[in-house]
Structure 1
Amino acid sequence: MRTLHRLWPYVKKYRAAISAGLACLVAVDVIQLIFPLLMAHAVDALKIRNLSEVHRALAWLAGLAVLIVAIRYLWRLLLLGASRKIERDLRDDFFRKLLRAPQPFLDGSRSGDLLSLSTNDIAVVRQFLGFGLMSLGDAVVLISFSIFLMFTLSVPLTLLVAVPLPLITLAMLKLGIRLHDAHEETQNQFGDLSARLQEDLYGVRVIRAYGQEQNRQAAFTGAADAYRRKIMYVTRLQGLFYPLLKVLAGAATVLVLWFGGLEVIRGRLTLGQFVAFTEYVAMLSWPLMALGWIINLVQRARASMGRLNRVFEVSDAAGGREDLEPAPAFRTLEVRDLTQDVGFGAAHGDSSEPFRFDGVRLVLRRGEWVGLAGRTACGKSSLVSRVLRIYEPPAGAIFLDGVDVTRIDPRALRERISYVPQEGFLFSQSLLSNFKLGSRNIPEESVAQIADIVQMKDEIDRFPDRLKSRVGERGITLSGGQRQRVAVGRALLKDADFYIFDDPFSCVDLDTEERVFERMKTLLAGRGVLMITHRVQTLARMDRIVFIDAGRTVETGTHAELLARRGMYARFVEAQELKERLEAAV
């Protein structure tokens, strides 16, 4: 049960409601336990034709039934309401932890698996805390008190009925372990199914372009069938629970009817006591069956919470340090001989060789525009991700005004740096919301001015709702160039010390880029700008260029200086110019 220990703070938060709900639950059970005794009294009174006692017992039964309805409504409201609130808090904390999880963990996790965790697994935990704890409390009270009252009525008959109980416990424990493992595999398979569906929906245009509909359909059908097989296996295991419990409970009922009837005939048990005993045996059927369901639910909750704990634990391990410094205004960003093993694919290339930073040097001061260039997969984007601490850099490699970035709070650090990634991601919201993502308090007039700077004003004016027009999932209703310019505008709205643009105009024509660039030069006067680009025209406008190759700085200087050296940068420029001439010829 250690897997479930993380739930205690959530339970503790709503302990008043849970305690009140459990108290109401016990009250209902105690009232229910009185019912067989009242029925016994009524039967014995009826046998001697004492109708007044029969009417009095019936009146008590009716009044207690009304009371049970009222109290049962109350405990359901309290217990199930608390479980829903815990579900909400747990889901909020899960998303918060997910946002702060280390990037390598997110890179290695499929979105479908994480989606399954935030829906299915948290729902299972909520069910355990709601109906599970409710049923457990119900079972404990009813079983213990029913057996006690049965002993008061007939010790031999109670011992006889108790024979099937160890068999029920043994069967539940045997199947419980198998159910835990089966449920874990089922949830993993559901995550795989969700991941496939999400990936295919996002890539549907590529699937159609390459005529892969049938292949993807076959792969999805295979995953869906694998999930069906696993869920059917769980269903078969669960199917063994209730019939087995029914058989054992039915055996207890047969024993009561046979031997209890003989006790009545022999005069050792009154007819009323026999009726009461039979009612207690029937009353035991639900909690005994509930125990099987509870064990099943506990196994499922342990499996689900174990999966959730992996996200919580990895986020806790990457939690903020207490010795981190705030991030005031900075004037200098410096990379000093960055050396770090990055691993496979971390340079955003297709090479199967592991990538390594091996002496990257770069200085960016406020008021400067520095270009960062290099061949594909040489480490440009990976370098920026370490400046922003999206991936953790080694200590003693990256500094802001002489302060190691590993000693600066990451969120405070990112407040001082505005960043445009390569993909120009947009959310399924309005254009206005996407522009204001990092600057919520900016008035709409300022957004309109920025839209004009990034050459989007005329295009936005043609949209039906202008800035309030929705852009669809991932900005699907916009072109690639429009998405990039919205991303640039979003960065420009942020008041920062440094602005980092990662190939922000790759889908924008040269004329539009030039107009945007000139307006940006005016707007960002006095700020430090790092521009990653392959375009020679853009690099030529930079105050200084840093050229990196294979994870190390190989040349630094102005565009003219680097061309004069006839080194790697000059060959890079020749290749880019040849590529542009060929594209223009086509």
Structure 2
Amino acid sequence: MTTDTKQDSTLDMLRFVFQRVLKKRWILVVNILALTVITLLQFVLPQIEQFIIDKVIPQKHVQLLFISVGLLLLAAVVLGLFNFLATYLMGVMSQNAITDLRTQLYDDILDQDTHFFESSKTGDLMVRLTSDVNNMQSLISANMLSMIGNIFTFVGVLGFILYKNWQMAVAVSLTFPLTFLIYRVFRDRIHNAFKRVRQSQSQMSNQMQNTLTEVDLIKSYTSEGYESQRFDHYALKNRDNMIDATKNQAIFSPLVDGVNFLGVAIVLLLGAMFVMKGSLTVGGLVAYLSYVGMLQSPISSFTRLLNQIQQALVSYGRIKEVTNVHPTIVNSANPLPMPELQVGIALKDVSFAFKGDPKRAKSDHAAISHVSFNIPFGQQTALVGHSGAGKSTLTRLIDRFYDVDAGDITFDGIPIKEIDLKQLRQNIAIVSQDIAIIDGTIRDNIQYGSPEANDDAIMAMAELADIKDFIQSLPEGLATQVGERGLKLSGGQRQRLAIARALLKDAQVVILDEATASLDNESEKTIQKALNNLLKERTSLVIAHRLSTIHNADQIVVLDAGKVVEIGKHEELLKAHGPYEKLYNAQFE
């Protein structure tokens, strides 16, 4: 990366962060005033020291000595109080800004399209939300904000020491270009080193996340050793990257300190000669050395902040990678409300392909090709076909997780893209084979999406889902914790919770995506009653794993390779001796 680009990126990063700081302008103003007082007190302290050395000590004026030392201590106490005020206010401002940033990033991630999550790694997103945001916090610190005051201090002190003794001022100024040369050399090295650190940390996080969510698979295949080796690889890679970054830091800091000591040595050498010649007092030399320290302080502070800036710059780039991605599935300019269905849903010559997604086997071919059929209001439409025929993809198009490439989907004649997205999804309830259970209570899971529902409504839906007796048998009832991903529940219990949640949602349209595929015959029979309650008087689309469960469907749509090959009722399709009959007979062979 070129120097100009990096400078532009740093300025962009500072604007990105400090626009959040400006939301609390009064804190920023008070902080700057506190830093101004701190700067003035730091300028006054050497003057008091010079006065004691040059005036009080030679005159042996004890009373004046006590007064001067008292003023020195008072100034130090006031300086400490203002340092406390500046640090505390900076902490408040920092936490406000970082919380705002983390919340915005979280909201931006939630707003992304389904494709974003299919192509992103969970562990990496977690690192961006935690470690990368934390790195940005270093930009809103007392040290960082004091740089603003230090700039004025640098200019003021440089003018003052030039006035006092221009020869020593010029001599110490010769060390500044050397400091910036060191900074330029190590800037890219440290930046690239921390970039590699962040990448390896994301790899470690992904490995941990995958391991913890698939622990049953790991144990059943006794692959603990294999997974341990994979984690060791990423951990060692992260260690090596961190050591490399630390090495650059370890070289950089002593070099800067060495240049500063060189400046002090030059001033001490020249100053001592001026004292010997009588053109400078000892107190003046002591004060001059203090001012040189104040002059070097902004440069030293800036170079010390280099590591934080480079880490923050890497994290800023990773955060912007998320915030710069804008969802494509959004509302139209003037979205229409979801209609109260009277006719139903119509798919008209719908085509769709997973473009450029290496995870999809059919990424170069249409997953859905010229599909047309109706889902009549208040009736049950079943969708059947071989695995990979496009059944689940169709359901995700109807819920607008994806947008069609061609054709259209309408609800009572209104194109899906013209319907308010939130209202559309609020009116569609999905129960799938992979049940989503949140880590909370039974109440939390049934109530999810319907937070206004009371316990009476929840238990009424639990009864329809045939899980009320189970809940009442538990000591804590609805307050029972289900565990992460519902691990404390059986498959059938998780399925019934999902059905109760869908019933409570009271959506116009219900989609069952192989909802009983993972259950045994006995469990499926007991849950079928709950499913019938869910589908009663609703417009429904059912993807069936077992064809025996859809005998009574109002119509059956048969898909093959993303195309509709048959439509009809169960008996009609069997008599036609087509693809449906082959599917049906294959299950009973």
Q: Same fold (TM over 0.5)?
A: yes
- Residue by residue over 1:83-115, the C-alpha shift from the partner in whole angstroms, topping out at 9 and shown as x without a partner, is 111111111111111111111111111111101
Cα distance in 2, alignment partners of residues 553 and 316 from structure 1: 30
Which residue identity is paired with 1:259?
L
Identical residues among aligned pairs (%): 27
How far 1:265 sits from its partner (Å)?
Answer: 1.1
**TM-score, normalised via structure 1 length:** 0.93
Name the counterpart of 2:374: 363
How far 1:325 sits from its partner (Å)?
Answer: 2.5
Say whether 1:417 aligns with 2:394. no
Name the counterpart of 2:550: 539
2:307 to 282, 296, 300: 296
1:475 to 459, 483, 486: 486
Preserved CA contact (<8 Å) 1:359 1:552 = yes
How far 1:149 sits from its partner (Å)?
Answer: 2.5
1:189 to 182, 197, 200: 200
Preserved CA contact (<8 Å) 1:481 1:507 = no
- Residue by residue over 1:173-203, the C-alpha shift from the partner in whole angstroms, topping out at 9 and shown as x without a partner, is 2211222222222111111110001101111
How far 1:492 sits from its partner (Å)?
Answer: 1.2
Say whether 1:451 aligns with 2:462. yes
Cα distance in 1, alignment partners of residues 360 and 574 from structure 2: 26
Matched positions, count: 577
Name the counterpart of 2:182: 171
Cα distance in 2, alignment partners of residues 441 and 350 from structure 1: 42
1:10 to 20, 36, 42: 20
RMSD between superposed Cα atoms in Å: 2.1
Task: Give the 5 Å matches for 1:305-316.
Answer: 305-315=316-326
How far 1:544 sits from its partner (Å)?
Answer: 1.1
1:435 to 439, 446, 449: 446
Cα distance in 2, alignment partners of residues 257 and 293 from structure 1: 24
Preserved CA contact (<8 Å) 1:393 1:406 = no
- Residue by residue over 1:150-195, the C-alpha shift from the partner in whole angstroms, topping out at 9 and shown as x without a partner, is 2232111111111111110111122112222222221111111100
Cα distance in 2, alignment partners of residues 522 and 236 from structure 1: 66
Change (3 A) 1:25 1:309: same
Name the counterpart of 1:200: 211
Say whether 1:461 aligns with 2:486. no
1:337 to 349, 352, 355: 349
Which residue identity is paired with 1:336?
K
Cα distance in 2, alignment partners of residues 468 and 37 from structure 1: 69
Cα distance in 2, alignment partners of residues 510 and 141 from structure 1: 79
Which residue identity is paired with 2:302?
L
Of stretches 430-439 and 143-152 in structure 1, the one that deviates more from structure 2 is 143-152
Cα distance in 1, alignment partners of residues 330 and 509 from structure 2: 25
Which residue identity is paired with 2:53?
V
Cα distance in 2, alignment partners of residues 322 and 130 from structure 1: 42
Name the counterpart of 1:582: none
1:29 to 15, 39, 47: 39
Name the counterpart of 2:537: 526
Name the counterpart of 1:283: 294
Of stretches 545-554 and 478-487 in structure 1, the one that deviates more from structure 2 is 478-487
Which residue identity is paired with 1:340?
F
Of stretches 502-511 and 492-501 in structure 1, the one that deviates more from structure 2 is 502-511
Change (3 A) 1:352 1:318: closer
Change (3 A) 1:161 1:349: closer
How far 1:396 sits from its partner (Å)?
Answer: 4.0
Which residue identity is paired with 1:18?
L
**TM-score, normalised via structure 2 length:** 0.93
2:513 to 496, 499, 502: 502
Cα distance in 1, alignment partners of residues 149 and 252 from structure 2: 19
Which residue identity is paired with 2:21?
V
Cα distance in 2, alignment partners of residues 408 and 132 from structure 1: 51
1:40 to 50, 54, 70: 50
Say whether 1:383 aligns with 2:405. no
Cα distance in 1, alignment partners of residues 528 and 498 from structure 2: 14
Partner-residue secondary structure (3-state), 2:120: coil
Name the counterpart of 2:90: 79
Which residue identity is paired with 2:254?
P
How far 1:324 sits from its partner (Å)?
Answer: 2.6
Preserved CA contact (<8 Å) 1:427 1:474 = yes
Cα distance in 2, alignment partners of residues 215 and 155 from structure 1: 69
How far 1:255 sits from its partner (Å)?
Answer: 1.3
Preserved CA contact (<8 Å) 2:442 2:479 = yes
Change (3 A) 1:58 1:27: same
Partner-residue secondary structure (3-state), 2:324: helix
Cα distance in 1, alignment partners of residues 558 and 227 from structure 2: 42
Name the counterpart of 1:574: 585
- Residue by residue over 1:352-397, the C-alpha shift from the partner in whole angstroms, topping out at 9 and shown as x without a partner, is 8745311222312321011111111111111111111112223641
- Residue by residue over 1:546-583, the C-alpha shift from the partner in whole angstroms, topping out at 9 and shown as x without a partner, is 111111111111111111111111101111223xxxxx
Name the counterpart of 2:270: 259
Of stretches 513-522 and 440-449 in structure 1, the one that deviates more from structure 2 is 513-522
Preserved CA contact (<8 Å) 1:253 1:281 = yes
Preserved CA contact (<8 Å) 2:371 2:564 = yes
Preserved CA contact (<8 Å) 1:428 1:475 = yes
Preserved CA contact (<8 Å) 1:380 1:532 = yes
Which residue identity is paired with 2:125?
L
How far 1:539 sits from its partner (Å)?
Answer: 1.2
1:562 to 573, 581, 587: 573
Preserved CA contact (<8 Å) 2:187 2:310 = yes
How far 1:512 sits from its partner (Å)?
Answer: 4.4
Name the counterpart of 1:105: 116
Preserved CA contact (<8 Å) 1:43 1:271 = yes
Preserved CA contact (<8 Å) 1:22 1:79 = no
Query: Structure 2 regions of 5+ residues with no counterpart?
Result: 1-7
Preserved CA contact (<8 Å) 1:460 1:467 = yes
Preserved CA contact (<8 Å) 1:39 1:272 = yes
Name the counterpart of 1:117: 128
Of stretches 499-508 and 110-119 in structure 1, the one that deviates more from structure 2 is 499-508
